[in-house]
Structure formats: C-alpha cells, structure tokens
Structure 1
Amino acid sequence: MIRRYRFSNEGVNYIVNLLENDIKRSTKRNHAISPRNQVLLALRFFASGSMYEVIGDTCGFSKSTVSRAVDSVTDALVSHIHEFVRWPHNEDKKKISSHFYDIAGFPNVIGCIDGTHVRIQAPKTDEASFVNRKGYHSISVQAVCDNEGKFTSVNASWPGSCHDSHVFRTSGLCQRLEKENKSFSDGVLLGDSGYPCRPFIMTPFLATDSAGKMRYQESHTKTRVTIERAFGQLKRRFHVLHSEIRLAPAKVCRVVTACVILHNIAHFLHESDVEEFEVNDLDVDNERCLNDRRDGAAVREFFVQQYFA
C-alpha cells in the first residue's frame, strides 16, 4: 500500500472518511465509482506521476474515470487546506522556535522559507511566462515549514519565470508578517539569498568578514536545510512533482497544493517516511542573490552581535 499509494490502509481510510462527503457521486447508478476507489486512483497518480491511461489500465478504469477522480479528490483536498496547513500561533511558535534553536543555536526561528519548481508541459496560453531561469516550463512554489518538516504555508500559483522575492512580496504571508511580526520576540523566517533581508526574514551574508558572521552563516545554513529536506520528502513521496505534469497550469497548482496537504496528513498520521534523499537532488537556487537590504540588515547585525559574537 505504501509503495503504491504512499499511505497505509489506515491512512487511506482516514483520507476517504475526510473526503467522502465531498466526492461521493450523487447518482443512483449501480456502478458509480466509490469514494475509496476515487481516492486510490488519485493517490496512485500523485505517487507515480503516470499518465491517466496507464493508471486506468492498471487499475481497471477508463482514462476519463481516472481524470474525474483525480480532479474530484484534488479539489476536495484543497478545500480542507486550512485544517492541515496552518500558520503557528502563540504556544506553537514557542515550541517551534525552541526545536529550531536545538538544531544549531539560531534563536526565534518560526519557520524556513524557500521556493522550488514543478515542471509542466508548455501551456497554450502565455507560454513564455512559465519558462524559468533554467529554461524549462514550471510552476513556482513557495513554502514555509516548521522544525518537523510540516508545511505551515504554501503558495503554488505563480508561473516559473517569477522570482522568489516577487512571489513572497506579493503573498498573503508577507502581508501577515508585516502586520503581526513587529518585534524580535514575534519570530523570524530563514530564507536564502534570493529573499529580501527584512526584520522578519533573515538571509545569509554575501560576505563574512568576522568570526561572528561566520558563526551566524553556519547556524543559518544548518537550520535552513530543514526546508530543503521537506521539499525532498514531498517530491520523493509524490513523484508526480518530479516529472513533467501534463495538465493545465491552474490544475497543476491545485495538484501541488493537494500533495502538500497529503504530506502534512502523512506527518499527522505518522505514516512511514519515504526513502532518504540527497539535498543535491533538489531544485535549490542558492546561486540567486538579491540586494534588497531594506531595514532587515540592522536586525541581522543585531542577531550577530547578540548571539554569535
């Protein structure tokens, strides 16, 4: 079960019970596809990334049936996003920051942020905007994870040509942080050099000219790798995110979001972890550099003087 669907039988039952009212077909026909079969078809698609026709031939359903099942289950999962992808508050923030501090001594971290790309087939509309800096068509995905690798925020709605800093700056997450994170005690995110250095998002130094900055850099790198591992687990668990998804961009965005929700459900149910992975397998854009310092540079200097000098 886990190898084919990424969930045990108990996990599949949990998902079926969660989505049953959303995907149950309102028909009196004797051979209407059951909610369980719809969930299994969708999970097989997410887990393998195979074409609908191949999944249908393997499982004994038509291509159109598989397509409808994947659409129904995807939409149903996305409707439950706020139950499983939740931004931490109060005591949750304290627990998360405490566990992050245990990794490498970086204080007040409430999440790690990064972007990744999901390859898609060339769309018929606005094709050029989906070509990313590496030359292939993709959806740009921004996410934040906690210390356990669970996603606390996801934004999978931008074409691949968009820079991570633009995705972040225009996101609801940025607006929330600008409103809620007014002081050091409210917590910070860790991001790579592709993000602006802001009071609520700490990025690496472009050059380290002191021992304190070197210690900051090392602690930042060891802590931020959590998001790279989370993306690795997500893509290992759901191979559809590894291959070229042959769907319209709007549907791909929903498939990515559904996979993130399933990833968090797997954590919640303590489902078996997927195989180990190498960070080098990931689409990590550490080469990018953004010179948008704003007022975060002073906070970063404070971090160095207060905790790493």
Structure 2
Amino acid sequence: MASPFLRDPVDEGAILVQLAFHTDRVLRDRQDPLCHTDEFLFERFRFSQQGLIYLQDLLGPYIANVTRRSRALTVLQTLCIALRFFASGTFLYSVGDAENIGNAAACVAVRKVYLALNQLINKFIIFPGHVPVNDIKEGFYAIAEFPNVIGTVDCTHIRLKKPSRPNKADFVNRKGFHSLNVQMICDSSCLITNVEVKWPGSVHDSRIFRDSTLCYSFEQGNYDGLLIGDRDYACRPWFMTPYPELAPGPEVRFNGALSRTRARIEMTFGLLKGRFNCLRGLRVEPDRACAITVACAVLHNVATLRRERVPVIVAHPEDNVEPIHLHERSERLQGTSLPSIISDSCPDDFG
C-alpha cells in the first residue's frame, strides 16, 4: 500500500510527460475575425483573410459608423455579420447570437452591406465582361467549339416567403411556391456579366429577356457576338437556341455543342447558391430579396476575380418515381389489395 506522505514516482513521470507536451493557451480577440485561419473564415464567411481585408477596404466608406460611442461595430464586424448571413441563410437572431449582438443590430449591419454592394454593381457586373470580347469568345469556343458566343442566358428562382402585398399571387411560380425569377448572363469563367432582378416567379423567362435593356441593345446592333439559351427563348439572329426536332447530322452536333456551352450558366447558379445559401430561401419582402440577390451576385464576382476557394456543391438526384394511376389496372395493384378494389369499383370517382 502506497504511503500518502510519499510521492508516487509514476505520478511524477506522468507530470513530466504532460509538461513536455504542454502548449500555451492562445486567447484570440473575438472582435478581430482575421486572427483565425483561412479554413475557419471560409466556412463562415466564404472569403479568406485577404479577401476580407479587400472587402473591408472596398466597403469601408459605405458602411463605417460615424461614431464610436456605445461600442459601435467596426467595419470588419459589420462585414462579417452580413457575410455570415449570406453564407448560412439562417435567421438573423442566430447570426446575432454568433457575433454576440442583438437581432436589431444584425439587421442593420446586413442592410448596410447589401445596400453598399448594390452601389458597386456597375463596377463588378459588366457586359460583355471584364476582358476583351475576343477573349470571351475564345473561352466559350474552347468548351465545345461553338463560335462567336459572348454570353449564355438563363433564369433561376429565388424562393421567398409569402409576400404581404395584394399581388402576392404573381410570385407563385409553375412549381407552386413563391419566388423571384432572376435572369443572369455569364461568361466562360462563370463570371456574372448581367443580372435582372425585379420579376415575380410567375413571369416567363422569355418575357424577362424581351423586356430587358440588354435585348434592346442587341436589337440595335450594339454588340458583336451571340447569346445562347434553352428552348424557353425565341431564336433570333443574335440569340441561338436548340433545334426543337432533331435530324441526324449537323443538327445533333449543333445541339450538343450548344448544350455543353450553355452549361456554364447552370454551373454559375450552382456556385452562386453554393457560396451564399441565403439564396435558397429568403424570409424577407421581395424588394429586400432583390437587393440581397444583387449583393450576392457582386460578391460572387469578387470571389471569382480573386480566385477564392470554390464551395463543395452536393448534387441531389431527382426522384425517379413512377406515377400510379388509380383508374388504370396495374400489375402491382392486381389481387385482393384495397387500392385495386377501390380503383375497379369506382373508377369515375378517382379518374
């Protein structure tokens, strides 16, 4: 039995080993997000340390508080609050809890940032792009050898909560939920070059493009190049769409090259919503949803131009479920099961 007055050599050896592997505790400043690693920052804000510094300098004149009384938020804190909301798409009180501020302060910070980004739209979203037109055409040609393309067009739906306005039925799209129908154009590097964010979900894609300023500019012959889109759009001399009925030969190759080239806009939508999960469902009124969508498009271009890390996009396969028609006798429903009895006895009630 060990004596309580003598030190156990085993315990002393354990203490020596523990001291050998001991590391000093590092206390980080909560008010300085830049003290974290790039991995930590990307998971929460979708930008690296250098990216946050760039945005801080870019948006500082627009979002800086005019006073430092009552411990006003710094430019970096305001920016990180908004980026956390854009990246996560969660409730504002959750963002406020993560940043140790109230719900009202988080709402004001997010509003400051997306309004500031809306003022920079003409600097970061430029048609046909930030590079010469010939470089844009060469980028698209390298994909599937489709010549003279300067942009690919498509629309995506941004889900909204039910608007509290008289024309709320206009926001119900063909899939049955409230949304904004947003038109975007991108180049071969998935850089957004044009965005139209003002139409409710019930408006057709071709109507949005037909009433856009860009369509009028193409009709006036202001651009040297082609746009490409899917079958939802009308074919024009400067707008190429797939053949509706294929014949063996050149038409099949034409549709294949156009489809592979047009896939860039689908990739852009995936990257945009992968970076900023708030675009998968906004719990705000349509006017604010339009401003937030534009802000996310500007941030996407900033991240693309700065070659920020690309988020991992998980593809969800579509449900492959065969429909069951109760008025038709099916092999799976034959026998003594109740659905087959109801289907056979009362076909008119379920047809």
The TM-score range, normalised by the shorter chain, is 0.7 to 0.9
Unpaired segments ≥5 residues, structure 2: 1-40, 319-351
Q: CA deviation at 1:256?
A: 0.5
Structural mapping, 1:224-263, within 5 Å: 224-242=262-280, 244-263=281-300
Partner of 1:264: 301
Q: CA RMSD in A?
A: 1.6
Q: Distance in 2 between matches of 1:277 and 1:171?
A: 33
Q: Distance in 2 between matches of 1:268 and 1:89?
A: 12
Partner of 1:85: 125
Partner of 2:187: 146
Query: Structure 1 residues 13, 91: CA separation in 2 closer, same or farther (over 3 Å shift)?
Result: closer
Structural mapping, 1:156-171, within 5 Å: 156-171=197-212
- Runs of 4+ deviating beyond 6 Å: none
1:232·1:279 contact (CA, 8 Å) conserved in 2?
A: no
Q: Do residues 193 (structure 1) and 234 (structure 2) align?
A: no
Select 2:243's aligned residue among 205, 210, 215.
Answer: 205
Q: Matched residue of 1:57: which SS? A: helix
Between structure 1 and structure 2, the one with the greater Rg is: 2
2:242·2:258 contact (CA, 8 Å) conserved in 1?
A: yes
TM-score of the pair, normalised by structure 2: 0.76
Identity %: 39
1:232·1:277 contact (CA, 8 Å) conserved in 2?
A: no
Q: Distance in 1 between matches of 2:131 and 2:171?
A: 40
Q: Matched residue of 1:246: which SS? A: coil
1:228·1:279 contact (CA, 8 Å) conserved in 2?
A: no
Select 1:104's aligned residue among 133, 144, 152.
Answer: 144
TM-score of the pair, normalised by structure 1: 0.87
Q: Distance in 1 between matches of 2:222 and 2:257?
A: 22
Greater mean deviation of Cα atoms: 85-94 or 58-67: 85-94
Q: Matched residue of 2:184: which SS? A: strand
2:128·2:151 contact (CA, 8 Å) conserved in 1?
A: no
Q: Matched residue of 1:180: which SS? A: coil
Q: Do residues 274 (structure 1) and 311 (structure 2) align?
A: yes
Structural mapping, 1:174-193, within 5 Å: 174-181=215-222, 186-193=224-231
Q: CA deviation at 1:273?
A: 1.0
Higher relative contact order (CA 8 A, sep 6+): 1
Query: Structure 1 residues 85, 51: CA separation in 2 closer, same or farther (over 3 Å shift)?
Result: same
Q: Distance in 2 between matches of 1:13 and 1:179?
A: 42
Q: Which string of whole-angstrom CA distances, capped at 9 and with x for unpartnered residues, describes residues 16-63 of structure 1?
A: 110101111222514111111110000000000010011111110100
- What code does the residue aligned with 1:73 have? V
Aligned pairs, number: 277
Partner of 2:134: 94
Unpaired segments ≥5 residues, structure 1: 282-309
- What code does the residue aligned with 2:244 have? L
Q: Do residues 54 (structure 1) and 54 (structure 2) align?
A: no
Q: Which string of whole-angstrom CA distances, capped at 9 and with x for unpartnered residues, describes residues 127-162 of structure 1?
A: 100000100000110000000000000111111011
Query: Structure 1 residues 169, 74: CA separation in 2 closer, same or farther (over 3 Å shift)?
Result: same
Q: Distance in 2 between matches of 1:87 and 1:230?
A: 16
Q: CA deviation at 1:210?
A: 3.6
Q: Which string of whole-angstrom CA distances, capped at 9 and with x for unpartnered residues, describes residues 239-274 of structure 1?
A: 0011x2111100000101100000000011111111
Q: Matched residue of 1:114: which SS? A: strand
Query: Structure 1 residues 279, 169: CA separation in 2 closer, same or farther (over 3 Å shift)?
Result: farther
Q: Which string of whole-angstrom CA distances, capped at 9 and with x for unpartnered residues, describes residues 193-242 of structure 1?
A: 11111111111111112411111000000110010001000000100011
